[in-house]
Homo-oligomer: A and B are copies of this chain.
Amino acid sequence: MNRVHMTPIGVIHSCFKEKFGIPRQAGLVEEVISRLEILPPYDRDEAFRGLTDFSHLWISYLFHGVPGHWRTMVRPPRLGGNRSVGVFASRSPFRPNRLGLSCVTLQEIQREAGRLFLVLQGGDFLDQTPVLDIKPYLPYADCLPHARGGYASEAPCARFQVLFTAIAREACLLQGRRLGIDLLKLLEKLLSYDPRPGYQEKSSTRSTCWMRLFDFEIRFRIEGDRVQVMEITG
């Protein structure tokens, strides 16, 4: 069949500058705030009239920063990264057409220096993600409580207790104030789900990781069922 051409209608500004640390699914960490900038000629107020009557939106986007080719089978993190399923039985980015789909909360619509932004809560977007479409979430059609969810029947569990060293806590409060967010709470939520990729060796009792977030790096140590945030460096 014929090729299809699309033009991004917007771009996501997100605290996630790399894949590592992005929540496994939209809605898991509602402390994550992203801003979707609508690009011209789509940034007209009329095109969004009535949107704030809906609490949630579907965002159709393009996975970027992944290779152009797709895989027939993938290893979802939910299966521990060591069992394979077909790519269409997953939400993996390694898919034909690289289409992503996330449901987020619409917090507000802002007009800032002529530019139009949708403020989104609970996103799982990499920074600079190109957005192709926005649709309202319709509970009567989209909410199916009796649907069978296969290997992902239950929400992932927050498995870690998150602790901070004194120096990390202080840096966290400082950076949080600068950004105008509760960074302690955001980090607690993000790290409570195991942020490491499914395929990473997890049997080691101790491991040290780095995560980029906003414009700084976070170093933390995983030990048993605890994560300790060691330091935050700008």
Contacts and interface: CB of A to CB of B under 8 A. Distances in A.
A4 interface: yes
Given A6-B6, A140-B149, A89 B55 contact: no
Interface stretch (A43-51, A178-186, A196-204, A208-216): A43-51
Contacts of A147: 54-56, 137, 139, 142-143
A83 to B, nearest CB: 9
B135 A88 contact: yes
A48 B138 contact: no
A133 B91 CA distance: 10
Interface string A19-39: 000000111100000000001
B138 A91 contact: yes
Contact of A49 (B1, B3, B42, B73): B73
Contacts of A195: none
A85 interface: yes
A167 to B, nearest CB: 36
Contacts of A113: none
Given A5-B4, A48-B86, A58-B101, A142 B140 contact: no
A12 to B, nearest CB: 12
A132 B4 CA distance: 9
Nearest to A25: B141
Interface in A32-85: 39, 42, 44, 46-51, 53-56, 58, 60, 62, 72-73, 84-85
